[in-house]
Amino acid sequence: MAVIDSTAGAGAGADSSPGTESVHFHTCPLCEATCGLEIAVTHHEDGSAVIGRIRGDRDDVFSHGFICPKGSTVKQLHEDPDRLRRPVVRRGDDPATATWEEVSWDDAFAEIERGLTAVLDRHGRDAVAVYLGNPNVHNLSGTLYGRPLLKALGTRNIFSASTVDQMPKHVSSGLLFGSGDSIPVPDLDRTDYLLMLGANPYESNGSLCTAPDFPGRLEAIRERGGRFVVVDPRVTKTAKAANEHLFIRPGTDGHLLMAIIAVLFAEDLVDLGHLAEHTSGVDEVRSLVSPFTPEAVSAVTGIDAATIVRLAREIAAAPSAAVYGRIGANTVAYGTLTSWAGDVINILTGNLDRPGGAMFPLAAHSRPDKVGPGRGFTVGRHSSRVKGYPEVRSEFPVATLADEIETPGDGQVRAVITVAGNPAMSTPNSDRLAAALGSLEFMVSVDPYLNETTRHANVILPGPTPLERSSYDLAFYTLAVRNIANYSPAVLETDQPSEAEILARLALVAAGQGADADPSIIHAMLEDSLLQRAIADGSPLAGRDPADLAAQLVGVAPQDRLVEIMIRVGSYGDQFGLVPDGLNLTTLLEQPHGVDLGPLQPRVPGMLTTASGTIELAPEPIVTDLARMVASLDELGDGSLLLVGRRHLRSNNSWMHNVNVLIKGKERCTLQVHPADATRLGLDEGGSAKVASRVGSLTAPVEITDEVMVGVVSLPHGWGHDQPGTRMGVAASRPGVNSNVLTDEAAIDPLSGNAVLNGIPVTIAPA
Ligand SMILES: Nc1nc2c(c(=O)[nH]1)N[C@H]1C(S)=C(S)[C@@H](COP(=O)(O)OP(=O)(O)OC[C@H]3O[C@@H](n4cnc5c(=O)[nH]c(N)nc54)[C@H](O)[C@@H]3O)O[C@H]1N2
Ligand SMILES: Nc1nc2c(c(=O)[nH]1)N[C@H]1C(S)=C(S)[C@@H](COP(=O)(O)OP(=O)(O)OC[C@H]3O[C@@H](n4cnc5c(=O)[nH]c(N)nc54)[C@H](O)[C@@H]3O)O[C@H]1N2
Ligand code: SF4
Ligand SMILES: [Mo]
């Protein structure tokens, strides 16, 4: 056990006197499930503190003691000797041979000011691109301070992990309900019937559906006599636990759902119930889906027509039902249509917004609903320079980042800032992007590791660990199967800057204020803008003096004060004293196991913000793109093997492979091949296969298993830790191969710009 930091001590509220052990409660930031952790800390005479046992918090109001094997490894992450503790600056052009010099924070920002200003002066604002990675949404600072950085940069070249993930869900939700953030989640704890497509929560613990112990909640569906059906080209752990598993040809879930909609109409099973008066476009949908007969779709999906008809009847007949699709249904060529179709089934069967169906959470930091039309959802306010892809939620597809770096001309990207991202591993044709990152004039990464992406940076700025920061899940409480609020202070103190401060200083450099500018300028700006909104006309606090409100805040760190304001003026808030038993930061601090605000409640029509004020079933972009899907009914594929991904419980995208307790054991980065395909291709168990796609090739160990469908092969993503010049010793000892060497940056879902990461045509031969 390592001594952590000479300045470390306990977080607020716990006894940290020397010789004592203190117990802390914190929310695990590693996946979307938001499990409560109970963390023991021993305080030594010399002032140091050592993390002891970490286990599930049995009193957590949401997770009730559940954790997965990753939860306790926040300790190993914290103690990882490879983790960067101070900023480092690269000396040398070639990452393979470069050395890294540890520098002070001031020197690091001075270096950034020189590098970034040079690019901005020479090439303009759009020459700096930003990539925001997944862990930002697991980090209060990252969630709150990304926007000021983007604003200060004033660049259009904004990219994030959203376009290798859930962007289709934002777009379909935006078109249907008016806001890309109005994402309905399956009401797991009350549903009678769940149709789950392309999700494997037994490994992933769920996504766009925050539910600690997702497996337990699924098993409860069966225990209470309900049913859940899994659609997946692999027999996953989740599939094994289900009442029924259906193989599907990768990339065709949208077709399946269209056919289910067609059956609902054909058999007169459409019944919107309470949604009828709030929904428009039902008749258009009826005619749009008419080409998707169960027979036509059966040929495309491989699911027989009678089964498709039965699924439609089961959903319609169930007392309550929800269709839920995730990675395998989003990261495909028809991602937005698939996402749309799932919600259309929920709507047409009256299951949206009713208990047991698909419901909209209302988080503590969200403002109450206001009935009436809104501004609606638009995309394409501008387009990417090289490929002309439309902007979606102010972003371009990360699949086109390499184009923007490589293609000369006005607006060419010459500098990149990555924050909590590893795009050299996680995005399509990643070798091309990695090479493009190597050609930049300047790059900055905010990241705790020197890895496949950050080795290309000139400066790496490491933030504190999860134990050194407070937690409140701004993103995931808006996606949770119960309304929950849980704030926890940092477990350990640190003398290092928070990511709020790091991002604020970057924003000030980008704004031309210089490396020495005081980050509190940004903190104050954010706080003031929230307070101004709090006192706007129509709010219960209208006309109040923002300084009075600010004086009532108890939070100290700027990110905590921002959350505090949101919660106090939020749907359950104390409205700065107007609602005496409402929530505020003090009440949350007094309840370290969280506050359960109850099961999800109906929110239609209040939450609708479309221009018509209705659920708009047949918006123009959907209608247009459906023609592409109709045309595909005649294309049955050329018989290529199709590559899909997979996740493992003990892994987390590309970045937790330096934790030995997680990666030890059997090799996990294997190419899964069905026995019939293995025989045909001449592959042997434990042998190697050469896998090639349009864009790249790799050699991977073969695992022969009938858990993958004939004609489909599977490789997990996030591996390939054998790049020279990284500093992740454990990961490098079991590198695996990077599946995104094979995924094709030219293949995107046109409505969302999301990359196609599943259903990649590949050829395979023994190596
Ligand atoms: N242990 C672990 N947990 C994680 C992560 C992790 O890397 N490891 N990552 C986190 C993140 S960032 C996310 S977004 C979530 C994702 O959470 P999930 O969406 O549950 O992701 P996966 O486990 O990859 O499951 C996707 C499934 O889709 C299947 N599939 C592939 N192609 C298709 C297709 O065309 N149709 C259908 N129906 N299925 C298909 C795959 O076989 C796989 O079983 O997990 C989060 N949790
Ligand atoms: N083929 C294929 N590719 C995929 C997927 C797939 O299913 N198949 N899944 C996609 C999905 S769903 C996602 S979300 C993306 C993820 O893509 P990315 O977000 O680009 O990558 P991650 O692997 O999550 O890497 C996260 C980075 O953040 C750093 N980090 C960790 N914690 C922190 C922190 O607290 N602060 C900061 N500043 N940095 C931190 C890590 O060191 C690492 O460098 O990958 C996508 N790529
Ligand atoms: S499921 Fe595991 S990784 Fe996810 S929040 Fe819970 S303990 Fe953390
Ligand atoms: Mo993700």
DSSP 582-598: SB-HHHHHH-TT-EEEE
Instruction: Kindly state if the Cβ of 68 falls inside 6 Å of ligand 3.
Output: yes
pLDDT, tens only, 704-759: 999 999 999 999 999 999 999 999 999 999 999 999 999 999 999 999 999 999 99
Pick the closest to residue 245 from 233, 260, 257 (CA basis).
233
Q: Per residue in 130-176, pLDDT tens?
A: 999 999 999 999 999 999 999 999 999 999 999 999 999 999 999 99
Q: Output the CA angle 722-727-728, nearest 5 degrees.
A: 70
CA pair distance 614, 608, nearest whole angstrom: 7
Looking at domain 638-766, which CATH architecture does it have? Beta Barrel (2.40)
Query: Is the CB–ligand 2 distance for residue 464 below 6 Å?
Result: no
First to last CA, the chain: 43
For domain 167-362+613-631, is the CATH number 3.10.100.10? no
Q: Is the CB of 26 under 6 A from ligand 3?
A: no
pLDDT of res. 20 = 87
pLDDT tens readout for residues 45-62: 888 899 999 999 999 999
Q: Whose alpha carbon is nearest atom 4 of ligand 3?
A: 31
Q: Counting atoms of ligand 2 from 1, which one is nearest the CA of 132?
A: 19
Please give the pLDDT value at position 467.
98
Who contacts 574 (Cβ-Cβ below 8 Å, separation ≥6)?
568, 580, 581, 582, 583, 584, 587
Distance CA 76, CA 467 (A): 11
Protein residue with its CA nearest to atom 14 in ligand 2: 134
Atom of ligand 1 nearest to the CA of 251: 35
The rounded Å distance from CA 165 to ligand 3 centre is: 19
Where in 209-321 does DSSP place strands (E)? 227-231, 244-246, 279-280
Q: Please, are residues 561 and 555 in contact by the beta-carbon 8 Å criterion?
A: yes
Per-residue pLDDT for 7 more than 90?
A: no
Q: Could you identify the residue written with the tokens 């080209």?
A: 233
What is the largest distance, in Å, between two alpha-carbon atoms of the chain?
Answer: 76
Ligand 2 pocket member 421 (CB < 6 A): yes
Distance of CA 159 from the midpoint of ligand 3 (Å)? 26
Is the distance from the beta carbon of residue 71 to the nearest atom of ligand 3 less than 6 Å? yes
Distance 132 CA to ligand 2 centre (A): 9
- Which residue out of 338, 644, 656 has the highest number of ligand 1 atoms within 8 Å of its CB and is therefore the one to mutate? 644
14: confidence class by pLDDT, cuts 50, 70, 90: low
Burial of 492 (0-12, 13-18, 19+ CB in 10 A): buried
Q: What is the pLDDT of residue 323?
A: 98
Task: Say yes or no to pLDDT of 13 above 80.
Answer: no
Domain ranges for the chain, please list them. Answer: 167-362+613-631, 638-766
pLDDT of the residue at 96: 93
Ligand approaching nearest to the C-alpha of 135: 2
For residue 638, what pLDDT band results from cuts at 50, 70 and 90?
confident
Instruction: Inform me whether the pLDDT recorded for 10 exceeds 90.
Output: no
The pLDDT, as a whole number, for residue 16 is: 66
